[in-house]
Structure 1
Amino acid sequence: MRWPWWVQVAAVYVAARMVSACIFMAAALHQGVNPWFPAKPDYWHFINIWDARWYGDVIDNGYPTELPVDSAGNVQENAWAFYPVFPLLGRALSAATGLVPPVSLTLIAMLAGFAASFVVYSLFRHRTEHGAALWGVAFFATFPVSAILQVPYAESLNILLLASALLLVLRRHYLLAIPVVVLMALSRPTGVPFAAMAGILFLYRLWEAWQGTGRRADPGRHHGKTHSPRELWALAALTAASGISALLWPAIAWATTGDIAAYTKTETVWRGHDLVPFKPWFDTGVLLFGPVLGLAAPFVFAAVFALFLLSRPVAQLGTELRLWCACYMGYLIVFLHPQTSTFRMLLPLFPLALGAVLVSRSKAYRGAVLTMFILLQIVWVVWLWAWAELPGGGDYPP
């Protein structure tokens, strides 16, 4: 604890990534025949599978100008499902250094995850003292799907941009957050929930300012907290920019292919049916729990999550971070098709890591959570990252 805070954060994050690397290498020793390489691959081959191949394809071939279709006219899997910032950075690094795309993408992912740990710490320090913030970074770095932060996926870059945007929002640097949000919205599909968060936050801060100045009731209550007119205008600009950013990638896909639904058609290829809000959650509920409990399961899940956000430890995260978590989970409930990739998509809820820390100051509790996260990380890598063909062909995606 005598080390500078940034050394402590770096040590925690690097140690977590070394643990994940050991898990990957151990799982690779048991990897059998698969679609990408011979059995028992080395570490670097093992982490360059699944969507990593799609990002490499974007670097090599770009995005198609026509959506690929089968003989029946159904859109097939294609690169439009993968947002451009991550592969464009990989292409730039490869061009500048001569590195092959898989190495460039891996380096970017690892450096972005490393940088994200410092931003996450700074974000948490706005809400708590150093020790709890450092534990929050440890929970974030060892979360069961945190191994994804060191493979050639866009998650680590997206978390870096998302955490930076949230930090700027907490500091009320709304205009500075706009370019960060644009890049974030073009790295992973987090633009829609961020726009929703910004819009609701603007309305709340507007109401708060009106309560403090318009009614002139208890003028000292909001001292140092209410937003000035200038800050409200800046937050309104961030809201508008976030909404536009959320639509940028679908618009680019439309402009390039000539199909207004190019992006949504591509995204729904992987789920096997058209996009119908909310319905996949009920379908999955019925599949898992039966026709009666299955229909109630999504409502129970939403209620439990809402109670969690209202709990005392999570309340300490503050308005902005709780609002982000609520909007992102709401986005998943509306649009997501729940399946094994859902675990990976929970990573943007990383502010809840601090809420988990604040449940108790007990080192035994925090150590137990950390241990459980690492054990579940082994489960995630062995179950979902490693390839094991199912009886009907294919495998569950990570």
Structure 2
Amino acid sequence: MTRLDGTLPQSIATGRRRAIDAVATLPAWAAVLLVWTGGRLVSTLWLALAYPLMARSQPENAIWGNEHGFLRFLTSWDGQYYEQISLHGYPTTLPLDAAGHVAQNAWAFLPAFPFTIRLLTISTGLPFDVGAPAVALLAGFVAALLLHRLVRERAGDAAAMWAVFFFTCGPLSFLLQVGYAESTFLALTFGALLALEHRRYGLLTLLGVAAAFTRPGALALPLTLGVITVMRLVQLRRGSDRVLDGFPRGELLRVVGAGVTMVLAGLAWPFVAAHVTGQPDAYLATEMSWWVNFIGRVEFMPLTPWFLTTAKWLGVGGVMIVIGLLVGYPLWLLRRSTRTLGTTTLVFSGAYALYVFAVSLPMASTPRLLMPLAPLLGSPELVATPWMRRTLVTCAVLGQPVLVAVLWLLGPP
């Protein structure tokens, strides 16, 4: 217990120091595994406690069919679309609602994750509701390892472990073990950022292309590459009359090749959907079908969804909140403490946030969309101050059961 002066009794303080010292002596992968395992046990507990409430609380569209076991619970919501894709592929004819508009369908979901599950189920005989959480679990551990390395190389071991803790034990960490593509996309994204950090452009291209067919948002990677390349060229121009001094022509060609390839991959899916269905706007119309319940049927225009939503629900005050975020977020990224995380992380954090703002609605799924910004959790501004760490740990511990109930049980996340 804590004394009246706020200090811990000597025995408790000594025990805590010993536990911290024991973890600190572990290899990085073992320390990450320990934290990741603890996070998965806690997430499993909250999901298991929520599961008995499924029949009374979950909407009918959360789970299709009559089989409502726990594994089916872990593959509900979007997991049903991934299962449909894994088992049957994509529809060649778009479904329509009563008014003749394109209805929600599988074309909103990219193929890398469900096709990976298909390969697993074909080779092992495991059903989808076993294979999908298994792949998510493995990918989540890989993502945690890569996140640790990405933060550690710039901000040190302590910041890296705190980032891993908030990532694997935070309010949204239960998504790392359900039948969603999040874990896979996060592992590919963090790996791509590390490859970019070390200028391994072939690996960056491979991971960036895979990410582009896993979840929307991978276009932030070539944008990050482009911004960093321009920054290097500007710095070289200032320091030399020859722009390519310190930037070999062969490297520049690899950069251009990687960027172009990732951009083409990031833009490919709408063309695939149009070719298969014969409808030019198949992908956009499918995506917009999810917007109807929030802001009605509108024409898509980039950079406007957040303004449309906040204006509809909060009026002028909502628009001012969005403007505040547009000003405040870049200023926070440019703070000296945040810059400790390195140029690659900061540029990607800006590029990915721009993507989220440009093409998505602020809704229940927005926190999930922001998970690729996890490297920012290692900012010294967040983890170097004891009161801030305590605040974030409290949010992580108390936030997860709330979000399991609100996003997974009542959803959709």
Is the shorter-chain TM-score for this pair beyond 0.5, marking a shared fold? yes
Give the deviation of 1:38 after TM superposition. Answer: 11
Letter in 2 for 1:350: A
Deviations along 1:63-105, whole A, 9 cap, x unmatched?
A: 0112122354311111111100000000000000001111111
1:382 equivalent to 2:405? Answer yes
How far did residue 120 of structure 1 move?
A: 0.9
* Residues 165 and 177, structure 1, Cα contact 8 Å, conserved in 2: yes
Residue matched to 1:393:
none
In structure 1, distance between residues paired with 2:383 and 2:349: 21
Partner of 2:356: 332
Quick check: 1:242 aligned with 2:262? yes
Q: 2:97 aligns with which of 45, 70, 75?
A: 70
Please name the residue that 2:238 is paired with. Answer: 211
Which of 171, 188, 199 is equivalent to 1:144?
171
Aligned counterparts of 2:202 and 2:226: Cα–Cα separation in 1 = 14
CA deviation digits over 1:316-353, x for unaligned, max 9? 11111111110111111111111111111110111111
Q: CA RMSD in A?
A: 2.2
Q: CA offset at residue 181 of structure 1? A: 0.6
State the partner residue of 1:11.
34
Q: Are 1:270 and 2:293 an aligned pair?
A: no
Match of residue 195, structure 1, among 222, 233, 245: 222
* Structure 2 CA distance for partners of 1:176 and 1:360, relative to 1, 3 Å: closer
What is the letter of the counterpart of residue 78 of structure 1?
N
Do structure 1's residue 283 and structure 2's residue 308 form an aligned pair? Answer: yes
Secondary structure at the aligned position of 1:338 is classed as coil
User: What's 1:311 paired with?
Assistant: 335
Q: Do structure 1's residue 261 and structure 2's residue 281 form an aligned pair?
A: yes
CA contact (8 A) 2:64 2:80 kept: no
Query: 1:219 is matched with which residue?
Result: none
Cα distance in 1 for residues equivalent to 2:25 and 2:270: 49
The runs of 5 or more residues in structure 2 that have no matched partner are 1-23
What is the percentage of aligned positions where both structures have the same residue?
A: 33
Are 2:193 and 1:166 aligned?
yes
Q: Letter of the aligned partner of 1:238 in structure 2? A: A
Residue 397 (structure 2) pairs with residue 397 (structure 1): no
Cα distance in 2 for residues equivalent to 1:329 and 1:309: 11
Query: 1:96–1:192: structure 2 CA closer, same or farther, 3 Å change rule?
Result: same
Deviation digits for residues 267-316 of structure 1 (CA, Å, limit 9, x no counterpart): 111112332223321222224433x3233222111111111111222111
Bigger helix share:
2
Once the 2 structures are TM-superposed, how far is the Cα of residue 207 of structure 1 from its aligned partner?
1.6
Q: Would you say the 8 A contact 1:341–1:397 is kept in 2?
A: yes
In 1, the alpha carbon distance for the partners of 2:69 and 2:129 equals 14
Q: Secondary structure at the match of 2:382?
A: coil
Cα distance between partner residues in 1 of 2:383 and 2:174: 26
The Cα shift of 1:358 comes to: 4.2
Dislocated runs of 4+, deviation >4 Å: none
Question: Which stretch of structure 1 is more off in the superposition, 10-19 or 269-278?
Answer: 269-278
Q: Aligned letter for 1:2?
A: T
5+ residue gaps, structure 1, are 217-221, 388-395
For residues 38-71 of structure 1, the C-alpha deviation after alignment (integer angstroms, 9 at most, x for no partner) is: 99x6542321210111111111211011212235
Measured after TM superposition, the shift of residue 37 of structure 1 is 8.1
**Structure 1 residues 61 and 215: alpha-carbon distance in aligned structure 2, compared to 1, 3 A threshold:** closer
* 8 Å Cα contact 1:175-1:235 kept in structure 2: no
Correspondence for 2:393 among 359, 370, 377? 370
On the 8 A contact 1:202/1:236 being kept in 2, the answer is: no
Q: TM-score, normalised by structure 1?
A: 0.90
Q: 1:253 to 1:167 in 2, by over 3 A?
A: same
Q: Distance in 1 between matches of 2:160 and 2:249?
A: 32
Report if the CA contact (8 A) 2:303-2:359 is conserved: yes
